[in-house]
Amino acid sequence: MKSNVLNKHIITTATIAAIAGLLFGFDTGIISGALLFLSASFKLTALTKGLVVSCLLLGALFGAALSGRIADYFGRKPVVITTAIVFTIGALGSTFAPNFVTLIISRIIIGVAIGIGSYTAPLYISEVAPVELRGSLVTLNQLMITIGILASYIVSLIFSTGGEWRLMFCVGIFPALLLGVGMFFLPESPRWLVMKQYSDKARQVLQKLRQSDDVSHELSAIEHSIPKSRPTLKDVFAPWARPVLFLGLGLSVLQQASGINAVIYYAPMIFKMSGFQGNVSSIMATVGVGIVNVIFTVISIWLVDKVGRRTLLLTGMVGLILCLLTLSDAFHHHQLAGQLKWITLASLLVYIACFAFSLGAMFWLLISEIFPLRIRSFAMGITVAANWASNILVSVSFLSLVKWLGTGNTFLLYAVFCMIGLVFCYRYIPETKGCSLEQLETNLLEGKRLAKIGA
Ligand code: BGC
């Protein structure tokens, strides 16, 4: 059989697993639309509104923290299938919630599923992907997140005329079912199979995924990188592993410190603050943000394995800083009042474009690549949990920051975080394009500098 890396098996496999990303985007995005109507149905106060938004994030934090262990123990495939079932239960619970407590419990359940899925899906994709396509295929997961966010904005718009928040939640059931059923037909990750000493099965899976009988080289590279014993917390914090953990955690916090979810969750409000009148124009502008997010994630998929991770990351971060400084300046100069809304719209559109092809896509990709196999699962779990914890901090503090510091200074603060991030990425981010996961691991163990482990 001839080797053909870009074949329908690998594309279908990655696309189905990436539906977990779609659920992530949809379920985090839908609350901004549903919240307006939930408030009326359940007579929510400011406090209980905050609870509805943050309980999902707390669930996700918990799910992500849990996921490293369970994906190693049970395998990537059963964990993603279970995640789909949990999603479905949570979505049904929120659709039919008879009272506020049921709604909160259901949102926590969805959060746990998002947390586990947000980690297991990119891990699975990176482990089935051939090296030439790994960047594009893992970034497919981020694309699905952005499509999920956009879908949630559109679904909110459609059902907002009748205030049907139950239908808004109900839509999430369909992709969850699709993920569960689709994943059932996919193979287990060959790397996990080797880890559990099912090398024959791993060979068959690789032959099918690569559409080639000649997979011995890849298989033996995987076999060599397999840990001899079960990883422990001590391994993750061992001196040789600390640099990559530092890299993953740094990127994770930075992604959120850029203020992305202040924009994703509060875009309609920011547009209103800048002078857009009425809900409809603000929501339309928000849909614009969602569309640009999707388009530039597609562009990053196309570019990532050509120009590389570092170039995209650094270019995007310079763009983020410029947009945030422009926004900050515009909100500081009230004399610009008439133009403020247009400056805000333009800056936020460019901001989201820059985020999409840099911190958005590259964070999920790099954390699925940089960790050696023996600690990959565990370390990714910790990194993703840190991402959710930072997400909670940024999204919960945004409104208070606007109140205490003013909108202009809040954007300035995010700009400062991005500047620190730019220096961090410039110094430490390796170019992993075209380097196999096993080679990255060897370079790290040989003590190469972080920025050079992809060389
Ligand atoms: C981030 C999310 C964010 C989304 C926006 C993801 O990479 O992890 O927190 O909402 O991008 O597209």
Give pLDDT, residue 131: 79
Residue owning the nearest CA to atom 6 of ligand 1 = 360
pLDDT digits (tens, 9 = 90+) for 28-61: 989 877 887 888 888 888 778 878 888 999 999 9
What angle, 0 to 180 degrees and rounded to 10, lies between the N-to-C axes of helices 216-225 and 373-405?
70
Give pLDDT, residue 35: 81
Closest to 123 in 3D by CA, of 174, 167, 83, 161: 83
Give pLDDT, residue 2: 45
CA 195 to ligand 1 center in whole angstroms: 31
Dist CA 380 CA 368 (whole Å): 7
CA 224 to ligand 1 center in whole angstroms: 34
Closest to 356 in 3D by CA, of 247, 451, 450, 263: 263
pLDDT at 3 over 60: no
CA 25 to ligand 1 center in whole angstroms: 8
Q: Which of 57, 145, 153, 395 to mutate to test the pocket of ligand 1 (most atoms within 8 A of CB)?
A: 145
pLDDT at 324 over 90: yes
Q: What is the gyration radius of the CA atoms in the chain, in angstroms? A: 22
CA 335 to ligand 1 center in whole angstroms: 34
Q: Which of 152, 261, 362 to mutate to test the pocket of ligand 1 (most atoms within 8 A of CB)?
A: 261
Residues with CB under 6 A from ligand 1: 142, 145-146, 149, 255, 260-261, 264, 293, 360, 363-364, 391
Mean pLDDT confidence for 142-149:
95
Closest to 21 in 3D by CA, of 110, 111, 96, 122: 122
Task: To the nearest 10°, report the CA torsion of 232, 235, 237, 242.
Answer: -150
CA 372 to ligand 1 center in whole angstroms: 24
In our burial notation (b when 16+ CB lie closer than 10 A, e otherwise), range 350-387 reads: bbbbbbbbbbbbbbbbbbbbbbbbbbbbbbbbbbbbbb
Q: Which residues contact 144 (CB under 8 A, 6 or more apart)?
A: 18, 19, 20, 21, 22, 24, 25
Give pLDDT, residue 45: 82
Mean pLDDT confidence for 442-453:
85
pLDDT digits (tens, 9 = 90+) for 271-298: 888 988 876 777 788 889 999 999 999 9
CA 145 to ligand 1 center in whole angstroms: 7
pLDDT band (50, 70, 90) for residue 4: low
Q: Which atom of ligand 1 is nearest to the CA of 142?
A: 7
Give pLDDT, residue 226: 75
Q: Which atom of ligand 1 is nearest to the CA of 363?
A: 7
Give pLDDT, residue 162: 84
Mean pLDDT computed over every residue of the chain? 89
Residue in this structure with the two tokens 């790099």, named with its chain if needed: 366
Q: What is the pTM of this model?
A: 0.88
Closest to 155 in 3D by CA, of 291, 18, 26: 26
Residue owning the nearest CA to atom 8 of ligand 1 = 360
Q: Which residues contact 372 (CB under 8 A, 6 or more apart)?
A: 225, 241, 244, 440, 441, 444, 445
Dist CA 411 CA 417 (whole Å): 10
CA 111 to ligand 1 center in whole angstroms: 14
Mean pLDDT confidence for 196-205:
91
